[in-house]
Chains A and B, each alone.
Chain A
Amino acid sequence: MSHLKSREAILFGAILCLLFVVATRFPAFVAPGNLVAVFTDTSPLMILAMGQMAVILTRCIDLSVAANLALTGMVCAMINVAAPDLPVAVILAVSLAMGAMLGAINGILVWKLSIPPIVVTLGTMTIFRGIIFLLTEGKWINAHEMSPQFTGFPRADVLGMPVLGWIAVLVSIVMLVVMARTTLGRSIYAVGGNPHAAVYTGIDVGKTQFAAFVISGMLAGLTGYLWVARYSVAYVDIAGGFELDVVAACVIGGVSIAGGAGTVVGTLLGALFLGVVKNALPVVDISPFWQLAISGAAIIIAVAFNAQSGRSKGRVILKSAEHAQ
């Protein structure tokens, strides 16, 4: 526990340092207005990372989140084109439901057929993108085809921040409560921490993993609508490769790839760290290559840090006992 707390403090410190360094060269970056913009820009990553965290905690991984986002986003855009007057609330409901359904497909395959999650979601990742192509024959849906209320919703300003940013805040609060205070959250940690013991405790491991995939899918679907509306464009390849950023945010935030350990706050900080790096480096005129290198270095440092803090925790101690004999 205390290790996680301290690693969150370290991450928070790293973000502050980064902001400070950038501020010395480009003070406008840390102006409140710009920080809000950075936060909003990072919101899709934060929302997706919340779902991915739940999945990774159960010892699974969801590589289909970006494809789910693209498919659900495309379907929302097509609905908007067909029925421009449909209220945004309906679109939101559709995106959540459809995302959850796509997530449930992953979950069912993992639960009922016991296919390894990485294989399942690699498969569905390609299938979801394929379906978009079938639906659109590769055509784009552009801004002028979408209704103003459809594209306006995520950008609408509420108390100085766009709705997109507020949705990220809301999702984080809900996930904070779900993970810390509900029986589902507890089961998710238990399943990842020790699946054998979870079985004896009467927790259905497969069902819990299914639930995590549904959460992840639901948030991916929601992000799908928000993404398409924000950028006012939908096509096959939107958010291509974004699933890796999402996994990276979790890992940097201290979620253990081995399952069972990780927190909502850590994950959020992990996402914010990547968001600040992505937004700050172009400003101080550093090439995008460095951006990748810094994210990469952060991942390796984070994993090394995880292994280090795990060392004093028993599980890893026992592993090192292997060499003793």
Chain B
Amino acid sequence: MTYQASEQSSDPAITPVLSLDNITKIFPGVKALDGVELHLFAGEVTALIGENGAGKSTVVKTLTGIYQPDGGRIMLDGQPVQFPTPQNAADAGVTAIHQETVLFDELTVAENVYIGHAPKNRFGLIDTKAMHAKTTEILNSIGAPIDAGVKLKDLGIASRHLVAIARALSVEARVVIMDEPTAALSQTEIEELYELVDTLKAQGKAILFISHKFDEIFRIADRYTVFRDGQFVGAGKMSDVKEAELVQMMVGRAVDQLFPKRHAEVGDEVLKVVGYSHPTEFEDINFTLRRGEILGFYGLVGAGRSEFMQSLIGITRPSKGAVRIDDKVRVIRSPADAIKAGIVYVPEDRGKQGAILDMPIFQNVTLPSLHKTSRDGFIRLAEEFALAREYTERLDLRAASLDTNVGALSGGNQQKVVIAKWLATQPRVIILDEPTKGIDIGSKAAVHDFMSELAAQGLSVIMVSSEIPEILGMSDRVIVMREGRMAVELQGDDLSPETLVRHAVGIQAQGDAA
């Protein structure tokens, strides 16, 4: 099923810096990679494209010595090499920003960036000063305003991601691999990242870029390689291909409309938030949400959207403010209270706050709905399975069986498990924090479609998203937050990419943009 000759299509004189030749990787029950090939060239960005579970992250882990291939060769400058440990890969100049970043909460930013290769002073001790200076330098180069001295646990998810990027750049690298680096970032930070990629390119590094966002693939990549179900499907130059062709290659079929917003009857007021404030994170949030409505929350990372949502469901306490549900005041002190009141929250950090990796898929999905599938504390397995199957099928989850542990799923499929889990509670209000982050294009359509359908059935949705097309395509109304406050509420014709960004960054209207 090769769409195009796989040999280095254009210029045979150039040897790739790093190549995968006929690589196979088998997990118990799954062939994650089945004889794939991939070539990375100096000074070029290669985009690796494929659905959730296609094997992209497995390639990254194979290239960085975390997994050992079961067959095939890795070639560095045309010579076969082996990376038995991650250290070997690092020594060979291969560095990666992984999809699930692992950092140390109790260490400072600088310590996280330089752990394992910290600069030493002449007594052989860690040179803290130099480490901080170098970290600050790297952070500045990627436009990240983070203090090198703060502990990691005090940072939000986007800043953590920037730290992970800084860590990858702290090694002298020839090959830089980025596994969905923009999934956790907002528009401005993404722009900075693109510039960073351009700089790395200019320095002659070979870059592997994994993303589900086609606009950015077309923005930064020079070449593409497509995988499907662990197999190589095709490769070539970006200039020779159109988006629809790539989607076709990756999914094996054409994908229908992405933002299938159906018209829903917006009904009575369900939720009213009055004067919600928090000592440090947000202030004076007011809005109402109606039946069947999709309310978007847009803002830059750090605008306080997630923090507000977390206090709405009782993870943190507000200092002021009240919630009315069906026009009655409700006090929500814990997530359990929120679930009872019919408000659920799909957290953004789904690795940490969402899934339980050592538990099978079906148990993850039914965890908050156990009262529905049990009587007097005893679980009815058949009902439990049926519930899990219904919601995972709707979200197009790819797994060998519902008995598989979530830890064995690909990143995107783990996300779907978490979303299914919350939808299965059949809430009245669902808060989705970055609902399609890391989800492939075909499944994204499934999520959006499901969202519209639920809204049409009378569910109210709050959608926190940093993706402008998603916000514009799905929302009835949008609240823009800036630095913990509501900047503006927009609807109808006022909604445009320009106005959103303008309010999010706080630039005053210049004679009203287009």
Question: Which residues does A use to contact B, with CB under 8 Å?
Answer: 1-2, 177, 181-184, 186, 189-190, 193-194, 196-204, 260-261, 312-315, 317-325
- By a CB distance below 8 angstroms, the chain B residues around A325 are 86, 90, 95-96, 116, 167-168, 170-171
A-B contact pairs, 29 of them (CB 8 A): A181-B378, A181-B379, A181-B381, A186-B370, A190-B356, A193-B358, A194-B355, A194-B357, A197-B352, A199-B335, A201-B368, A203-B367, A204-B334, A260-B356, A313-B405, A313-B408, A314-B357, A315-B407, A317-B66, A321-B61, A321-B64, A321-B98, A322-B116, A324-B95, A325-B86, A325-B90, A325-B96, A325-B167, A325-B171
User: Which residues of A lie under 8 Å from residue B339 when comparing CB positions?
Assistant: 202
Say whether, besides A314-B408, A324-B96, A197 and B338 are in contact (CB < 8 Å): no
Q: Enumerate the 6 nearest inter-chain pairs by beta-carbon distance, A residue then B residue, closest first.
A: A314-B407, A324-B86, A193-B356, A202-B336, A323-B86, A202-B335
Closest to A183 in B: B370
Q: Is the CB of A200 within 8 A of B335?
A: yes
For A312, list chain B residues within 8 Å (CB): 27-28, 408
Known contacts A193-B356, A324-B65; is A200 also within 8 Å of B347 by CB? yes
In the assembly, what is the distance between CA of A201 and CA of B407, in Å?
Answer: 18
A193 / chain B contacts, CB cutoff of 8 Å: 356-359
Chain B residues 348-400 with CB under 8 Å of chain A are 352-360, 363, 367-368, 370-371, 374, 377-379, 381
Which residue on chain B has the smallest CB distance to residue A198? B356
Interface of B is mostly: mixed
Report chain B residues within 8 Å CB of A314. 357, 405-408
**B246 close to A (CB within 8 Å):** no
Contact (Cβ within 8 A) A183 B408:
no
Distance of B113 from chain A, by nearest CB (Å):
9
The winner among B95, B379, B408, B421 for most chain A CB atoms within 10 A is: B379
Report A-chain residues with C-beta under 8 Å of the C-beta of B66.
Answer: 317, 320-321, 324
In this assembly, does B87 line the interface, its C-beta being within 8 Å of a C-beta of chain A? yes
Given contacts A203-B367, A325-B171, 20 further A-B contacts (CB under 8 A): A181-B381, A186-B367, A189-B358, A193-B358, A196-B352, A197-B354, A200-B345, A200-B347, A202-B339, A203-B336, A260-B356, A314-B357, A314-B407, A317-B66, A317-B67, A320-B86, A323-B86, A323-B87, A325-B86, A325-B167
Whether A183 touches B377, Cβ cut-off 8 Å, given contacts A200-B347, A201-B368, A324-B86, is: yes
Cβ of B77 < 8 Å from any Cβ of A? no
CA distance A313 to B347 in the complex (A): 23
Q: How far is the CA of A203 from the CA of B100 in the complex (A)?
A: 25
Contacts of B404 in A (CB 8 A): 1
**Bound Cα distance A43, B353 (Å):** 39
In the bound complex, how far is the Cα of B67 from the Cα of A177, in angstroms?
Answer: 38
| B140 close to A (CB within 8 Å) | no
> CB distance A197 to B356 under 8 Å?
yes
Binding site for A on B (CB under 8 A): 27-28, 61, 64-67, 85-87, 89-90, 95-96, 98, 100, 102, 115-116, 167-168, 170-171, 315, 334-336, 338-339, 345, 347, 352-360, 363, 367-368, 370-371, 374, 377-379, 381, 403-408, 421
Q: Assuming A204-B336, A317-B66, is B360 touching A1 (CB within 8 A)?
A: yes
Do A321 and B27 touch across chains, with their CB atoms under 8 A apart? no
Contact A182–B335 (Cβ < 8 Å): no
Residue of A nearest to B418 (CB): A197
Please determine whether A202 and B334 come into contact, CB atoms closer than 8 angstroms.
yes
- The chain B residue with its CB closest to the CB of A262 is B358
A261 cross-chain contacts in B, Cβ below 8 A? 358
Chain A: minimal CB distance from B62 (Å): 12
* Nearest neighbor of B89 in chain A, beta-carbon distance: A324
Instruction: Give the residues in chain A near B381, CB-CB below 8 Å.
Output: 181
When distances are taken between beta carbons in the complex, the residues of chain B under 8 Å from A260 are: 356, 358-359
Select from chain B the residue with minimum beta-carbon distance to A180: B379
Complex-state Cα separation, A323 to B338, whole angstroms: 40
